[in-house]
């Protein structure tokens, strides 16, 4: 090497991984968390990332999250292995498209259609309507030929009698409804629908999406400053999980 010549800077990204192999991920700009000994934090592009390395400190990209028009809540996810390959497109639905005329009358808030590279719909990320907002998280999933995948608040899981016992009084439900109104207004601006439920011991509980009694997807287990999404049901199309994370923004 010639005297005085500088080495080219190392690539800020970890080696990409195929998105088809992903079953657990975070959505983040973090490339390295700084949690490993001697490691400095490093950021890159917003992406679906797979934790690896010591204590999950290296976050390899699987799909980059692109927002072509910042004035429109729509996203493209592109393969980190080859950005010319579209993983999926997330396009907004109207309330009428999401729930029909009856859904619009009930105060349904629409959602997003998830399309594959050929433009075929693989499912939807839908926003919870007013009637259920006190017991159910803001966003839920529809996948063709599968039951609806919803995340109820932990106090609202179980039979109606169990829910009533945990809710205690109508006032508790009203407070939850007001809190959900606030969370829903946040997700409308693309900042997420709010996790942070805690157990009686104060420990954070994962958000859990279920199809009936079957656990399909969880969001918890912090990696760096982000929580990890993990597929629990093998039939879930991961493009729906990626789309959900993109819409929530975390």
Task: Calculate Rg over the CA atoms of the chain.
Answer: 20
Average pLDDT score over the chain: 75
Nearest 5°: the CA angle 209, 225, 186 is 60
* CA-based nearest residue to 214, from 142, 140, 123, 148: 148
Residue 179: pLDDT band (50, 70, 90) is very low
* CA-based nearest residue to 213, from 161, 152, 170, 140: 152
Domain count, the chain: 1
Is residue 189 one of the residues assigned to a domain?
yes
- Tell me, what's the pLDDT at 30? 85
Is residue 201 one of the residues assigned to a domain?
yes
- Tell me, what's the pLDDT at 56? 53
Is residue 179 one of the residues assigned to a domain?
yes
Is residue 19 one of the residues assigned to a domain?
no
Residue 162: pLDDT band (50, 70, 90) is very low
- Tell me, what's the pLDDT at 44? 87
Tell me the pLDDT tens digit for each residue of 9-34.
445 677 899 999 999 999 999 887 66
Is residue 77 one of the residues assigned to a domain?
yes
Domain extent for 122:
66-218+230-248
Q: What is the average pLDDT across 139-151?
A: 95
Is residue 30 one of the residues assigned to a domain?
no
Q: Is the pLDDT of residue 113 over 80?
A: yes
CA distance 108 to 101: 10
* 185 vs 6 pLDDT, higher one: 6
Is residue 105 one of the residues assigned to a domain?
yes
Tell me the pLDDT tens digit for each residue of 224-245.
556 899 999 999 999 999 999 9
Is residue 86 one of the residues assigned to a domain?
yes
Helical ranges in the chain per DSSP H: 95-105, 160-167, 170-188, 238-248
Query: Do 61 and 87 meet the contact criterion of CB atoms below 8 Å apart?
Result: no
- Tell me, what's the pLDDT at 46? 93
Cβ-proximal residues to 145 (8 Å cutoff; 6+ apart), any chain: none
Quickly count: other Cβ atoms within 10 Å of residue 16's Cβ. Answer: 19
Query: Do 47 and 61 meet the contact criterion of CB atoms below 8 Å apart?
Result: yes
Strands (E), the chain: 24-32, 42-52, 58-66, 75-79, 86-93, 111-115, 121-127, 139-142, 207-211, 214-223, 226-231
What's the token pair of residue 102?
A: 């009856």
CA 88 to chain centre: 14
* C-alpha dihedral, 144 to 146 to 148 to 149, nearest 10°: -110
- Tell me, what's the pLDDT at 115? 97
Tell me the pLDDT tens digit for each residue of 38-56.
567 788 899 999 987 655 5
């Amino acid at each position: 090497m010639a005297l005085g010549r500088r080495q080219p800077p190392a690539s800020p990204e970890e080696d990409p991984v195929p998105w088809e192999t992903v079953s657990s991920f975070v959505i983040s700009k973090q490339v390295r968390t700084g949690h490993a000994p001697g490691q400095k934090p490093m950021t890159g592009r917003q992406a679906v990332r797979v934790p690896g390395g010591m204590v999950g400190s290296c976050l390899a990209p699987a799909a980059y999250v692109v927002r072509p028009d910042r004035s429109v809540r729509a996203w493209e996810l592109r393969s980190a292995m080859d950005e010319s390959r579209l993983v999926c497109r997330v396009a907004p639905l109207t309330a009428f498209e999401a729930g029909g005329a009856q859904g619009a009358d009930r105060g349904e808030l629409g959602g997003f259609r998830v399309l594959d590279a050929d433009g075929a719909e693989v499912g939807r990320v839908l926003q919870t309507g007013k009637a259920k907002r006190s017991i159910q998280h803001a966003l839920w999933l529809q996948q063709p030929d599968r039951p609806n995948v919803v995340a109820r608040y932990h106090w609202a899981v179980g039979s109606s009698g169990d829910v009533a016992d945990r809710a205690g009084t109508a006032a508790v439900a009203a407070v939850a409804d007001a809190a959900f109104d606030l969370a829903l207004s946040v997700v409308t601006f693309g900042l997420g629908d709010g996790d942070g439920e805690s157990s009686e011991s104060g420990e954070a509980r994962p958000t859990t999406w279920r199809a009936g009694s079957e656990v399909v997807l969880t969001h918890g287990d912090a990696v760096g400053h982000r929580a990890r999404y993990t597929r629990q049901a093998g039939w879930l199309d991961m493009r729906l999980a990626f789309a959900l994370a993109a819409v929530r923004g975390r």
